[in-house]
Chain A
Amino acid sequence: MRRRRALWFWVFVGPFAAGLALFTYVPLLWSVGLSFFDAHNTVTPTDFVGLDNYTAMLKDGAFTGSLRTFLVFTAFIVPVTFALSLALALMVNRVRRAQAFFRSVFFLPAACSYVVAALIWKMSIFNGVRFGLANTLLGLFGTDSVAWLSTTHPPWYWLVIVTVRLWLQAGFYMILFLAGLQRIDPVLYEAAAVDGARPGWTVLRHITLPQLRATSVAVLLLLVINAFQAFDEFYNLLSDARGYPPYARPPLVYLYYTALGQGQNLGLGSAGAVILALIIAIVTVGQARWLRLGKSGEE
């Protein structure tokens, strides 16, 4: 019986495990190996260069600049998405009728492709000429058109990048918060009411938010990791056939150009990918420890 169960386990899990190994772990280990070689236009290099690729990448102003871009992006996107999705969840949770409808409406953008959303934002809403939607609205107030994606002073491109991601992501995190909210025991609210706590900020601060702690920690971790992995909307909003501006180039876009673009410097790109993976791992572990992920509330 046990052998048969083991057999079925491998029948169902085996193909996926093999796929995972073949298409994820082998390339990952190969990439780590490549990072120690001079690998221009080859994945089977012969010139071992030790840590040269790592030092070159860490000295590269464009790469460190891309990390700064990521920090700015994270500073915007994480708290704003967190607050917006929590607010949406609180609102939807209070709706007595058609809750499923509102839940679906806010969640639907999560089903939209980043590429499609980015192109709509770029070409229809935030194009820089007078007939773009945003500029048409500004025109009603007598304001000049703004070249949203081309202006660095002030950096309007952040508004475009942040809003498209907010639109795409907030609904997904709202669902997570909603699930958390619906797990809170109503008795707690009743007890608070009996104790004289007024509905609103007091209850939110002393009952709801502490009860959502586990969900909040998970959402924060996901938001930071997703911010590190930002690529699609940046690339589709800002790249053209001739390249990409340096002012909004997150690490993945830079590594894409280094390793897979015309540069084809797979050794240097791999070193950058390893550095980025290490940074993500360190930040995630640090964040998890700081937020005491996995510790029960009583400890």
Chain B
Amino acid sequence: MTISRRTLLGAGAGIGVGVVSGCGSNTGRGGGGLGGTRLAQWYHQYGEPGTEQAVKRYAAAYTKARVTVQWRPGNYDQQTAAALLTDSGPDVFEVNGPSLDQIQGGQVEDLTALLDGVEDDFNPAVLAPKTYQGKVYGIPQTVDTQMLYYRKSMLRDAGVEPPQTLDELVDSAQKLTGNKVKGLFLGNDGGAGVLGGTPLYAAGLRLVTEDGKAGFDDPAAARALGKLRELYARKALLLGAPTDWSDPSAFLQGLTAMQWSGLWALPQVQKELGDDFGVLPFPKDGPAGKPTVPVGAYGAAVSARSKDKAAAKAYVKWLWVERTDYQEDFALGYGFHIPARISLAKKAGKLRTGAAADAVRFATEHGYAQPLLWTPASQTAYQDALSRIIKDGANPESELRGVVRKVSAELDRVKHTS
């Protein structure tokens, strides 16, 4: 059989049209399906097995629209930020925010009405950063917190008590440091990335004040950050571990006696170490200080570019406000998180005893959430300064002065935008 050039070109064009029409056709939108409505929902990739199947099961159980779940590995925050600029993004998406710029830019929908009558049942610490000018832009799904894990036997052998102040933490870490074990692991960057504002809150300060000013223009801030430098300078910090702070491997492998990590690591630590571990909040510093843990929550948001915003909001309300059984399953069935609903957190059996109960108490009594006004630019400036203080021994006071200038400019910008 011979193929003429015309036939070949025709076939090629046909394939081309097919490919082009096939590309991007599965946006999860358009007509057809249940109730004629289709919704695309995005999640970031959770590490815990079973979570993906669970969220797909929840979506399949929704009868008023056909919900397509996309499980997205990689830099999820960047992916969603870029997708929100286009019409092919999600209708409903999980977000570690939304950010102030996303709210001010009109990229996410106002979800205040979804919480009518149940607003008080959501953990206020994590609802506050999703609230701007009285309107809620994200429904918190689960609460996560970070804390200090310590190995009881190692502390006992070294004659060290669990540290209650930042000074004690510095001394304990040094005493626990030996040839093969370091005293403390705060991440491979010495804590600059993960600690963020935690040492400031532990010193009785805050990132942004109630009246919208930089909350750490105070000698206590420089004093607290200087102690992180001391930990580094005394070689008490584990650096260069194969996995970073979010993974408990360094702690479990005995490379460090104490590690700052997340609540999510608790089941694994418990499984490996039994009761040979305890948890603590970040210790207080100075007379005005108080123990502190950061809390945060992924929330469900609705894209302002969704073609069916009402349906998207109805789905979010169904899943993250009404279906408390799914919310509890999502928080505790696969990984280990605190349900965002106070009533669910109180009745969850897994959170009532041992280190889990301690973690819930820390989150309730000592939890702080990064304020909405703390923009990524402020975060970068602060984190850079913290890195220079810890690793280069830069002067904390002059570094913080520079950060205060940058943060003040950012706060002026966002106030001007609003």
Contact = CB atoms under 8 A, between A and B. Distances in A.
Interface of A: 40-43, 61-62, 123, 126-130, 132, 145-153, 240-243, 245-247, 257, 260-265
A150 B377 contact: no
Nearest to A62: B384
B246 A241 contact: yes
A151 B232 CA distance: 10
Contacts of A42: 85, 105
Given A147-B240, A148-B240, A263-B375, 20 more contacts: A40-B105, A41-B84, A41-B101, A41-B102, A42-B85, A43-B85, A62-B381, A128-B188, A128-B241, A129-B241, A146-B240, A151-B239, A241-B193, A241-B246, A242-B383, A243-B193, A245-B387, A245-B391, A257-B380, A261-B78
B101 A264 contact: yes
A261 B376 contact: yes
A12 to B, nearest CB: 12
Contacts of A263: 375-377, 380
A247 B387 CA distance: 9
Contacts of B156: none
Interface in B167-197: 180, 187-190, 192-194, 196
Q: How many interface residues does chain B have, given as a range?
A: 35 or more
A257 B180 CA distance: 36
Contacts of A153: 391-392
A37 to B, nearest CB: 13
B54 to A, nearest CB: 23
A232 to B, nearest CB: 14
A43 B89 CA distance: 15
A132 B250 CA distance: 13
Nearest to B98: A41
Interface string B358-396: 000000000000000001110111011001100110000
Interface string B113-133: 000000000000000000000
B240 A127 contact: yes
Contact of A246 (B188, B244, B388): B388
Contact of B380 (A41, A62, A132, A150): A62
Given A128-B188, A128-B239, A149-B188, A260 B244 contact: no
Contacts of B49: none
Interface in B147-173: none
B82 A240 contact: no
B409 to A, nearest CB: 10
Nearest to B240: A128
Contact of B239 (A150, A260, A264): A150
A129 B182 CA distance: 10
A148 B188 CA distance: 10
Contacts of B59: none
B105 A240 contact: no
A242 B193 contact: yes
A260 B255 contact: no
Contact of B77 (A41, A62, A247, A262): A262
A265 B377 contact: yes
- Between A40, A41, A149, A151, the greatest number of chain B beta carbons within 10 A of the residue's beta carbon is seen for A41
Nearest 9 A/B pairs, CB to CB? A128-B240, A242-B193, A147-B239, A147-B240, A150-B239, A41-B105, A262-B376, A246-B384, A263-B376
Contacts, number: 110
- Looking at chain A's contact residues, the main secondary structure is loop
A239 B101 CA distance: 23
A130 B180 contact: yes
B107 interface: yes
A267 B84 CA distance: 17
A150 B187 CA distance: 10
Contact of A40 (B101, B242, B391): B101
Contacts of B84: 41
B81 interface: yes
B195 to A, nearest CB: 9
A243 B188 contact: no
B303 interface: no
Given A128-B240, A246-B388, A264 B187 contact: no
B375 to A, nearest CB: 8
25 contacts: A42-B105, A126-B240, A127-B241, A127-B242, A129-B240, A148-B240, A149-B240, A150-B189, A150-B239, A150-B391, A151-B391, A153-B392, A240-B187, A240-B189, A241-B193, A242-B194, A243-B192, A245-B189, A246-B388, A257-B380, A260-B82, A261-B77, A262-B81, A264-B99, A265-B377
Contact of A150 (B101, B190, B376, B379): B190
A62 B240 CA distance: 24
Contacts of A241: 193, 244, 246
B242 A123 contact: yes
Contacts of A148: 240
Contacts of B377: 263, 265
A280 B339 CA distance: 51
Contacts of B180: 130
A236 B380 CA distance: 18
Interface in B221-253: 238-242, 244, 246, 250
B78 A260 contact: yes
A64 to B, nearest CB: 13
B255 A129 contact: yes
Q: Which among B99, B189, B240, B384 has the greatest number of chain A C-beta atoms within 10 A? A: B240
Contacts of B391: 150-153, 245, 247
Interface centre among A152, A240, A243 (most CB of B within 10 A): A243
A168 B335 CA distance: 39
A160 B309 CA distance: 49
